[in-house]
Amino acid sequence: NGILVKSVAEYNDAVSNAEPGDIIKLANGVWKDAELVFEGKGTEENPIKLTVEEKGKVTLEGASNLQIAGDHLIVEGLVFKNGFTPTNAVISLRKNKDEMANNCRLTECVIDNYNNPERQVQDYWITIYGKNNRIDHNHISGKKNLGVTMIVGLDTKDSRENNHIIEHNYFGLRPTYGNNGGETLRIGTSHHALENSNTLVASNYFDRCNGEHEIISNKSCQNTFKYNTFFECTGTLTMRHGNETMVDGNVFIGNGKPSTGGVRVINEKQTVINNYHFGLTGYRFRGAFVMMNGVPNSPPNRYVPVIDSKVNNNTFINCDHIQLCAGADAERSQPPATSEISENIFYHETKSNLFTVYDDISGIKFENNITSKNIETGITKGFVKSEFELVKNEQGFLVPVSDKFKVEISPNIATKENTGVDWYSKNDETVALNSGETLKVEPGINTLFDVTKNSKPGDILELESGGEYLLTKTAKIIHPLTFKTSGSEKATILFERMMAFEIQNGGSLSLDNIIFDGAKSPDYAGNSVISTSKNSMIENYKLFIDNCEFKDLIVNHSFDVLRVAKGTFADTISIQNSRFKNITGHIAALDKETDDIGAYNVEYLIMKNNTFSDIQGAALRLYRGGTDESTFGPFLEMDHNVADNVGQGKRNKYDASVSLYGVQEIGIKNNIFKDSKALNMHLVVGEPIVQISNNNFYNSQGLTVTGDQKYTVENQWSLNPNFM
Amino acid sequence: NGILVKSVAEYNDAVSNAEPGDIIKLANGVWKDAELVFEGKGTEENPIKLTVEEKGKVTLEGASNLQIAGDHLIVEGLVFKNGFTPTNAVISLRKNKDEMANNCRLTECVIDNYNNPERQVQDYWITIYGKNNRIDHNHISGKKNLGVTMIVGLDTKDSRENNHIIEHNYFGLRPTYGNNGGETLRIGTSHHALENSNTLVASNYFDRCNGEHEIISNKSCQNTFKYNTFFECTGTLTMRHGNETMVDGNVFIGNGKPSTGGVRVINEKQTVINNYHFGLTGYRFRGAFVMMNGVPNSPPNRYVPVIDSKVNNNTFINCDHIQLCAGADAERSQPPATSEISENIFYHETKSNLFTVYDDISGIKFENNITSKNIETGITKGFVKSEFELVKNEQGFLVPVSDKFKVEISPNIATKENTGVDWYSKNDETVALNSGETLKVEPGINTLFDVTKNSKPGDILELESGGEYLLTKTAKIIHPLTFKTSGSEKATILFERMMAFEIQNGGSLSLDNIIFDGAKSPDYAGNSVISTSKNSMIENYKLFIDNCEFKDLIVNHSFDVLRVAKGTFADTISIQNSRFKNITGHIAALDKETDDIGAYNVEYLIMKNNTFSDIQGAALRLYRGGTDESTFGPFLEMDHNVADNVGQGKRNKYDASVSLYGVQEIGIKNNIFKDSKALNMHLVVGEPIVQISNNNFYNSQGLTVTGDQKYTVENQWSLNPNFM
Ligand SMILES: [Ca+2]
Ligand SMILES: [Ca+2]
């Protein structure tokens, strides 16, 4: 009853003839564009199994996918990579709304970077329907396009009270998506929030699942989350909808990484116990622990108030933010009630004010919580200070030790080793900037093009001091590359195409100590020094500009420094210590996501110590449309920049030298604006954090703020800077 | 001295060793990514020649191009196709600014659809520098990306007074580009407008060169255009800059096609004689004859007033518009002076008012012009009416015959046959919608997907009356396809992906008698029934929707009917006799070109006899940014539509049911708006032609117009339409 199949036709034959106990094996090799349906009726004793000839030697590529429907079926060892599903799921535990999988097992399967190249086209990777299915020891890594990685669907009665078990799976890297729809696991939807799902999620390892705020979006009742490890994830296990959730014995490791979070509580009868949190730095909706305010008589798709919930015996080591009554606003006006926070331990080496209380906490009973000596909760009772040490336990966790309590972490806790499969690597293949070799580039025509073309990821292209480089072809940046002048006199790059550099999918760019001169650029509107691919980029990119000079970008109008496209997303754009002079366009207009569905173009934007002079367009335009609260970007930091005659061009439609819309965190300080257009900001979505201080607007329009009016302005001057 | 080379290395060897009289032959086959430099010094008697083993059997593909530099070089027989140049030119008559071609000949070469796939990335196809070069009998067809097809460059002294001869070339189809930069031939630039170029452009055939207003953009002095044929070109031979141009003996054949034009005169000492014009319908800057107003003391890059110019002995048969003092406005306030229009013949079978006079014509001497009896010029003297017949002459032209004059067309006139080469087809390969076979499609899951995938260009997919069709995969429209229900009950199409149809490069779509239902679409913001490719589309597309129904597009917000991407351009979008009900997004937001460099998304937009009800977004948003005057789109016609509760959704950022910006021609009549948002228009660029009549705004915002205030509104009502 072991049947080796070598083609989809043979496979289909085998499936349609399969009897209980049969084992169908996909032959070693690449299965391209294989849309497999695995259906049949096994028995508990004699399931029908789909597996592979040899594990790790069978891959499904191109437009492949799998649908499972029937009873007592086992799928094992399939690897999906180098392609993407043409339908809305890579692996679906149903064939259609009526034919689904029950008592089935999906085990030791791999889905690795199997992404639709269009980051804004949605799919799921695993959709779970039916009942009593077990999803275990799978390796699911690198989802980068729109859509939750794994869902449990409850859209028909036959998928509710399902008793699914999701365990020992390895959920690998999911980078910041830059919009809603980057969750890793969702159980239910708001439409079925009050149905019982009864799903157990146990001992799974979530490794940098950073897609959005919700690593896990719980949207149904009576689910249990146990012994899962969340490693450096910039989000929370969120009880978004539904009641009676049990969150017990999980571990959240932040290691001090930005925006790492823990558990977020909404709704009723939630239990959060025995969890361990370490080095979580996130705040607002990504705090180490967040209990939200609710909406009175909330519709199911808004925020049901917290009642009858219990937070007991959790440990927080060096976690920066505990947020109570979070999200309190005119709509979310109902604080938690008849709930308790008890016997938790809070330790912090340096920070004393961990707790932020946004509304009335009288509905929360605080009891027997313990804090380290330095912590001031501001909450009048239910906390005692205690002296204790941190000791690394045998599992490697730093736990507090005292004779008053004992912090234990279950031996069932997920580790990188005990999850996923052992025959598929969990290592990152990401190459960092500056990690490669240094390649010297001679001055001349297209020398830079040629060396770029032959470079390897991470390489550093070293230009000669004072050298002149002409690009008659655009240098395509297909992997991380650094360009720098060695020596004191910056090399100059000129270019005959509409852009010198084009960052393509997988590329990142660092520019250091170089002059860019627009003199040879074509006489057409819309040139730029750097452009992203005009096609969607599924990989986030990075751009660093340091100590560079951009001058005379004046051939025709709308000559920008950086021109990005819709469907591209930068983790970081950093522009520092650079000079920009005589430019007909913008320095950077990051506003190509005009659909207002919540997408934006960059997470962190940093501009420091730059001078901008005679710029007809804006120094910066940053736009985030829509009203989605699943993400926190963009973050903007502008510090010590000088703008001299910026934004005055008649084509500058932003009517500003810096124009911000929907940016979530804004720090603008120590900047000088002379003879320049305004700084304008439209504040929307959630509660943007806005700090404007020590800026000088001389003979310039000043600050204009529309939208929300919560922001801080300090020390705004209007002094003549007397540039020389 | 005939050297056959089989690789770029062999080629380079041959070139570097070439002696006068040598003939280097590229071996038959495909030369991929061949960047050839052809340099050398031949003599007048013994040139060095680059040719091919057999004409038509050698193609340069991929990232290939050619640079020619030296003396007495001949290039013959090269074919560029299936690729695009990595630099700014396919064939350049220089290697760099100092090393150029002189006394060289480029003959019998072909450049066929050799387009950068990014329509907004610029290149030229042939750049001519140096002196005394002859460019003859080349076939240059299908340019679709940004950038002039052929230029004569004057940027250094050694390229001026060049005596180049451009003759007997075939310039094939250049479709509407939808922005500036779609010229077919440009001689000089505004920077060198007052330099003499002395270029002869003779006996070339321009076949539907429709890129933009300027088929030819003359931008230097002392050039001659003789015996060229302009066949159905939607633009003019434009004397944009520079003086002393001779336009003699050319033929302009419009055949009644929209927007076809003739000659446009600007600047001084221009001579337009002996030209024949037939069936030209264009107006404004694309008239059969246009003499513009100028700017007093104009800078060279604006409009130098017409003086000392002569328009003599030209013939206009069935041409609709003669435009005098065109473009007159506050800036272009100086009418032509010391010029004459004499001895021209104007015949029109039906139209009597051909002449539009925008300013003072006292500076033009009209003398001895002859018109057919029906024509009323409105010009007091210089015209006599005459009776004459039209007779087809032996060349096939319909010429007026009378005993008072004789219209002759030179035997040197360009024809499709005597231009280009005879070994390369001039036939179009474009396939029309509905020109293929009818394929029946069974109802069911993905039956539509499968038949689409196996269809051929022009096929008609016939759906069953009342049938239900589910797409779990997006149907990609890669060539022209029609979907229609046969029978009285419309078939219904549902879809599980973010779009039912995706129009890809080369695709066009016609939908007839079908219901689209959004019920199965994914629960993510941003679905659409039809989407264009998110990547740039170099081919213009067409979309026809007739007699269809779109309903319940309400899964999540921003669910549009049509969603287009930047870098795509529709020749025509026609939506007629259709019903739209219950939709969370827009019907069509054609506003993705936000860079304001003059690009837009559609040329002709037609909405007739539709009903829109309960549409949260806009029925239409149409945007054209920038200030460019090289194009005339978009054109909008809205007639007999009913809007009931349209545009009231809180996410409708246009705050309108119809929102127009920069649209060039607007006809909105016989529409009813009930309980709907406004019709808003921002009028800019040139002089948009705007006619708003017989519209009823009941309990709705009305018409708001910003920008220019030249428009016509007639019969605006506010009556209760009493829908049942
Ligand atoms: Ca979310
Ligand atoms: Ca133009």
- In this prediction, residues B156-178 reach a mean pLDDT of 97
| Structure-token pair, residue A142 | 């690198």
- In this prediction, residues B418-438 reach a mean pLDDT of 95
Q: Which residues in chain A are closer than 8 Å to B591, comparing Cβ atoms?
A: 594
Instruction: Supply the pLDDT for residue B434.
Output: 97
Intra-chain end-to-end CA distance of chain A, in Å? 87
- Our CA-based measurement puts residue A481 at a distance from the nearest CA of chain B, in whole angstroms, of 21
pLDDT at position A724 over 80: no
Can you name the residues that pair with B463 across neighbouring β-strands? B441, B485
- For B558-616, give the DSSP string: --EEEE--TT--EEEEEEES-EEEEESS-SEEE---TT-SS--SEEEEEEES-EEEEES
Q: How confident is the model at residue B403 (pLDDT cuts 50, 70, 90)?
A: confident
Of the residues A470, A595, A654, A685, the best mutation for testing chain B's interface (the one with the most B CB atoms within 10 Å of its CB) is A595
| pLDDT single digits (tens) A290-303 | 999 999 999 988 99
> Locate tokens 């391209």: which residue?
A32
Greatest CA span in chain B, whole angstroms? 88
| Structure-token pair, residue B222 | 């002392």
pLDDT at position B169 over 80: yes
| Percent of residues, chain A, with pLDDT higher than 70 | 100
pLDDT at position B36 over 80: yes
- In this prediction, residues B15-34 reach a mean pLDDT of 98
Query: No. of H helices and E strands in chain B?
Result: 2, 72
Alpha-carbon gap, residue B291 to B310, rounded angstroms: 11
Q: Which residues in chain A are closer than 8 Å to B597, comparing Cβ atoms?
A: 525-526, 557-558
- In this prediction, residues B646-656 reach a mean pLDDT of 96
Q: Which residues in chain A are closer than 8 Å to B598, comparing Cβ atoms?
A: 525
Candidates B122, B497, B625; nearest CB to A522:
B122
CB A593 within 8 A of CB A566: yes
| Structure-token pair, residue A243 | 């009641």
CB B547 within 8 A of CB B580: no
- Mean pLDDT rounded to a whole number for chain B: 96
With an 8 Å Cβ cutoff, is A211 touching chain B?
A: no
Integer angstrom CA distances of residue A329 from A292, A295, A626, B497, B709: 11, 9, 19, 36, 45
| pLDDT single digits (tens) A557-597 | 999 999 999 999 999 999 999 999 999 999 999 999 999 99
Name the residue among A69, A72, A64 with its Cα closest to residue A21.
Answer: A72
- In this prediction, residues A361-373 reach a mean pLDDT of 97
Name every residue whose Cβ is closer than 8 Å to that of residue B422 and which is 6 or more positions away in sequence.
Answer: none
- In this prediction, residues B197-214 reach a mean pLDDT of 98
Name the residue among A380, A322, A379, A378 with its Cα closest to residue A346.
Answer: A322
A:347-406 residues touching chain B, CB 8 A cutoff? none
CB B672 within 8 A of CB B650: no
Instruction: Supply the pLDDT for residue B300.
Output: 85
Alpha-carbon gap, residue B684 to B265, rounded angstroms: 24
- Our CA-based measurement puts residue B2 at a distance from the nearest CA of chain A, in whole angstroms, of 32
Candidates A445, A597, A653; nearest CB to B526:
A597
With an 8 Å Cβ cutoff, is B97 touching chain A?
A: no
User: How many other CB atoms are there within 10 angstroms of residue B453's CB atom?
Assistant: 12
With an 8 Å Cβ cutoff, is A547 touching chain B?
A: no
- Mean pLDDT rounded to a whole number for chain A: 96
- In this prediction, residues B348-353 reach a mean pLDDT of 95
With an 8 Å Cβ cutoff, is A189 touching chain B?
A: yes
Minimal Cα distance from B472: which residue of A? A87
Intra-chain end-to-end CA distance of chain B, in Å? 87
CB B529 within 8 A of CB B503: no
Domains (range + CATH), chain A: 2-401 (2.160.20.10), 438-717 (2.160.20)
Tell if the CB–CB gap between A598 and B525 is shorter than 8 Å. yes
Name the residue among B214, B207, B146 with its Cα closest to residue B172.
Answer: B207
With an 8 Å Cβ cutoff, is A591 touching chain B?
A: yes
Residue B31 DSSP SS3? strand
Spacing, Cα A532 to ligand 1 middle (Å): 27
pLDDT at position B35 over 80: yes
pLDDT at position B397 over 90: yes
- For B104-169, give the DSSP string: -EEES-EEES---SSTTS--EEEEE-SBS-EEES-EEE---SSS-SEEE--SSGGGSS---EEES-
Is the Cα dihedral A204, A205, A209, A213 positive or negative? positive
Minimal Cα distance from B473: which residue of A? A87
| pLDDT single digits (tens) B69-78 | 999 999 999 9
pLDDT at position A30 over 80: yes
Name every residue whose Cβ is closer than 8 Å to that of residue A173 and which is 6 or more positions away in sequence.
Answer: A141, A142, A207, A208, A209, A210, A428
- β-strand pairing of A514-517 with A549-553: parallel
With an 8 Å Cβ cutoff, is B706 touching chain A?
A: no
- β-strand pairing of A389-392 with A398-401: antiparallel
Alpha-carbon gap, residue B43 to B46, rounded angstroms: 5
Alpha-carbon gap, residue B9 to B37, rounded angstroms: 12
Tell if the CB–CB gap between A566 and B566 is shorter than 8 Å. yes
CB A92 within 8 A of CB A65: yes
Supply the DSSP symbol for B340.
E
Dihedral Cα A268, A273, A278, A283, nearest 10 deg:
10
Minimal Cα distance from A472: which residue of B? B87
Spacing, Cα B213 to ligand 2 middle (Å): 7
Tell if the CB–CB gap between A496 and B596 is shorter than 8 Å. no
Supply the DSSP symbol for A137.
S
- For A538-596, give the DSSP string: SS-EEEEEES-EEEEE-SSS--EEEE--TT--EEEEEEES-EEEEESS-SEEE---TT-
| pLDDT single digits (tens) A600-636 | 999 999 999 999 999 999 999 999 999 888 888 999 9
- In this prediction, residues B352-356 reach a mean pLDDT of 96
Is the Cα dihedral A337, A191, A174, B563 positive or negative? negative
B:295-324 residues touching chain A, CB 8 A cutoff? none
CB A344 within 8 A of CB A361: no
With an 8 Å Cβ cutoff, is B567 touching chain A?
A: yes
Structural Rg of chain B based on CA atoms: 28
Q: How confident is the model at residue A687 (pLDDT cuts 50, 70, 90)?
A: confident
Name every residue whose Cβ is closer than 8 Å to that of residue A5 and which is 6 or more positions away in sequence.
Answer: A11, A13, A14, A24, A25, A26, A27
Alpha-carbon gap, residue B305 to B442, rounded angstroms: 66
Alpha-carbon gap, residue B229 to B251, rounded angstroms: 5
The lowest-confidence range among A386-390, A514-518, B266-270, B304-308 is: A386-390
Beta strands in B146-278 (DSSP E): 150-152, 165-167, 170-171, 185-187, 200-202, 205-207, 214-219, 224-226, 229-231, 236-241, 246-248, 251-253, 263-265, 271-273, 276-278
Name every residue whose Cβ is closer than 8 Å to that of residue A422 and which is 6 or more positions away in sequence.
Answer: none
Instruction: Supply the pLDDT for residue A536.
Output: 95
Tell if the CB–CB gap between A534 and B598 is shorter than 8 Å. no
Which ipTM value was assigned to this complex?
A: 0.93
Query: No. of H helices and E strands in chain A?
Result: 2, 72
Instruction: Supply the pLDDT for residue B649.
Output: 97
pLDDT at position A156 over 80: yes
pLDDT at position A1 over 80: no
Instruction: Supply the pLDDT for residue B438.
Output: 98
Q: How buried is residue B330: exposed, middle or buried, by Cβ count under 10 Å (0-12/13-18/19+)?
A: exposed
Q: How confident is the model at residue B404 (pLDDT cuts 50, 70, 90)?
A: confident
With an 8 Å Cβ cutoff, is B593 touching chain A?
A: no
Beta strands in A93-248 (DSSP E): 101-102, 105-107, 110-112, 124-128, 134-136, 139-141, 150-152, 165-167, 170-171, 185-187, 200-202, 205-207, 214-219, 224-226, 229-231, 236-241, 246-248
Spacing, Cα B120 to ligand 2 middle (Å): 14
Alpha-carbon gap, residue B138 to B553, rounded angstroms: 52
